[in-house]
Amino acid sequence: MLNSKKNRIALIGSAFFIIILVLFAILRDNADSITLAQASAMLHDRDVKKVVATEEYVYLKTDNGYFKIASSQVTPQMFTDYKVEVGGDSNILVYILLLVLFLGLGSILLRFLQKRDGLQITKNGISRDVSTKPEISAPIEAIKTDVSFDDIGGISDVKLEIEEIIDFMKNPKRYKSFGARLPRGVLLVGPPGVGKTMIAKAVANAAGVPFYYQSGASFVQIYVGMGAKRVHELFATAKKNAPSIIFIDEIDAVGKKRDGQRNDEREATLNQLLTEMDGFEASSSVIVIAATNNIGVLDPALLRAGRFDRRIFVELPTKKERASILEKYLAKVPHEVDLKQVADMTVGFNGAALAALVNEAALLALRQNEFQVTLEHFYQVKDKVMFGKKKLQMLNDKQKSYLVTYQAGKAFVATYFDLPFEKLMLSNEKLLPVSNEAFLQQDLEAQVKMHLAGAVTCDLKYQQHSSSAKQDLDEAKEIVQRMCQEYGMSSSILAAEEEQKVVLDKLYQETQTLLESSLDVIEKLEAVLYEKESITKKEILKYLG
C-alpha cells in the first residue's frame, strides 16, 4: 500500500513537471531578433501580417515566423499602415502559470501527507493527528545469515535433531517419495542465552534458503488488525520465496494462553498465526522455527500436532559443552589457559555468558598490558560477568573484620563440601552460580550449610553477626522449604509446617560443630582475605591439607 501511494505521488509529480516544460516551451519568447533595416524591408514589402508592441520589443509576425526588434529602434510612423496590438510581457505570463502549477502540486502533496501521516492544518501551523492509524512498517525481507554449526559449540544433541530438517529442505524429493512431509513447526525451548537464535540462523545457512526473522513483540500492535496483517504478510512472503524458514523469536509475546480476558488485538494476531500454520500446503516447503523461554505460557492450540510438530529443548551447556564453546571463543584470543579449568569454574553459564567471560578476560589482559590471557584473568572477571561489577563499600576496621570472618567461614564450608566455585572475593554476596541441575539431599544440605556458615562463624568468634547475612539466610530458608515441601526430604513425605524449623536447626548445629573444630584453619583464611581481599579454592585446599 505504501509503495502504491509513493508511485502515485511520483506519477503526479512527473506529469506536472512535463506540463511545466511544455508550457514553458510554448510561452517562452522564441522570436528571432532583427535589425532596423530588416524590419523596414519587411514592412515595405508587406510581408508582415501582425504587429504586437510591448514595453521592450515590437513583434512582427510573418509567414516565415516571429521576429522582434527593440522598441527604442522604431518609430510609430513606421506602422501607419498596420494595426498595432498592445501586448503584455510574455515572461510574466510564464511565471504566473508556473506559480499556479507549483501551488497546485503543493496542495496535492499536502493532502497526501495529511492522509498518510495524519497532518492537520491549524491556525498555529501544521500538527499531527495522533489518532490517525499509521502505515505498516517496511516490507518483510529475508536476512542474510553467515552463522554455521561450526560457529556454535556444545549443541551436538540439538544438531542431530535438526539435521533431518536441513536434509529435507535440500532433498525434498527423497522424503516425498517415501510419503513423509516436512514438519510444519519446530519449537526451540530453553533458558535465555543458550543460542536458540543462532541455531535457527545456522539451519537457514546450512539449508541455503531465505531466512525471515521476526520477534513476537513485533506483532503486538496497539491498532486492531495490524498484528494479524503483519503475520499474513510474513507468511505470504515466505510462501512466495519457498523453500524458506520463518523464525519467530520470543513467540510467547504473541502466543500466550487465551484466558478469557479481552485482548482483541493479541487474540486476533494469535488466531491469524494459527490460521497461517494450518494453511500450509504439503508442498509449500516453508517451516516455522520459534523460540521461547517458557513453554508453559503458550496457548494449547499453538502446541498441538500439525503446528509445532517437533520440540527441541536447548539446555544450559554441560562441562564438556562449555569447553567446546570456550574453544570457539578463544580461537582468536592469545591465551595460556586450560579449557577444562575454565569449564570447571563456569557451572551454570550459558553460551552468551561464556562469550562475555572470554571478552572481559581479553579486555582485562589488554588493560594490564599482558601479551596473553591467563587463568587469573578469568578468575578476576568471572564475578563481574555473573553478578555485575560491584565495588567493596567503604568499611572501617571493625566492619572489615566481621566481613572477613563471615566470608572465611563460607569459603571454608564451600571448599569442605567441594561446592562448584573457584574464587571468593571479599565483596561477593553470592558464591555459587544459579543452576537447574538436579541435586541429591546431601548436595542441598551442603548448600544450606554454606549459606549458614558466615553467620555461624561470626557467632562463634564475636557472639553476633551483622545484617549482611540476610541474603544468605533467605536462600538457606528457601532451599530448606523446597526440600521439605517439594522434594520430600524431611522425616516424612508430607512435611508438617514445623518440619522446616527442625531441618534448619539441625543443619545449623552440624555447621557449628564443623567450624568449631576448624577455627585454626579459618584464622589462616582470614589473614589471606584481610590482606588480598580474595582467595581461591586451590589456596583453601592447601590449608585444609
Mind listing the pLDDT tens digit for each residue in 337-377?
A: 888 888 887 877 888 888 888 898 899 889 888 888 988 88
The answer to whether domain 319-387 has CATH 1.10.8.60 is yes
Q: Would you give the DSSP letter of residue 35?
A: -
pLDDT of residue 417: 92
The CATH 1.10.8.60 portion of the chain extends over 319-387
Structure-block grid coordinates of residue 274: 494459527
Per CATH, the number for 149-313 is: 3.40.50.300
pLDDT of residue 123: 47
Tell me the C-alpha distance between 331 and 324, whole Å: 11
pLDDT of residue 414: 92
Q: Would you give the DSSP letter of residue 297?
A: G
pLDDT of residue 65: 77
The CATH 3.40.50.300 portion of the chain extends over 149-313
Structure-block grid coordinates of residue 330: 578463544
Distance of CA 145 to the CA centre of its chain: 15
Burial state string for 408-442 with b = 16 or more CB within 10 A and e = fewer than 16: bbbbbbbbbbebbbbbbbbbbeebbbeeeeeeeee
Assign domain 397-544 to its CATH architecture: Up-down Bundle (1.20)
Residue 103 backbone dihedrals phi, psi, to 5 degrees: -65, -40
Question: Please, what is the average pLDDT of the chain?
Answer: 77
DSSP codes, 439-482: --HHHHHHHHHHHHHHHHHHHHHHS---GGGHHHHHHHHHHHHH
The CATH 1.20.58.760 portion of the chain extends over 397-544
Pair 402, 526: CB distance under 8 Å: no
Residues of the chain with pLDDT under 70: 1-30, 86-139, 154, 221-225, 259-265, 279-284, 383, 386-395, 427-429, 433-438
List strand residue ranges (DSSP E) for 376-427, in order.
423-425
Pair 207, 168: CB distance under 8 Å: no
Tell me the C-alpha distance between 243 and 170, whole Å: 9
What pTM did the predictor assign? 0.54
Tell me the C-alpha distance between 439 and 449, whole Å: 15
**3 state SS of 127:** strand
pLDDT of residue 134: 47
Residue 123 backbone dihedrals phi, psi, to 5 degrees: -70, -20
Query: 134: cis peptide before it, omega within 30°?
Result: no
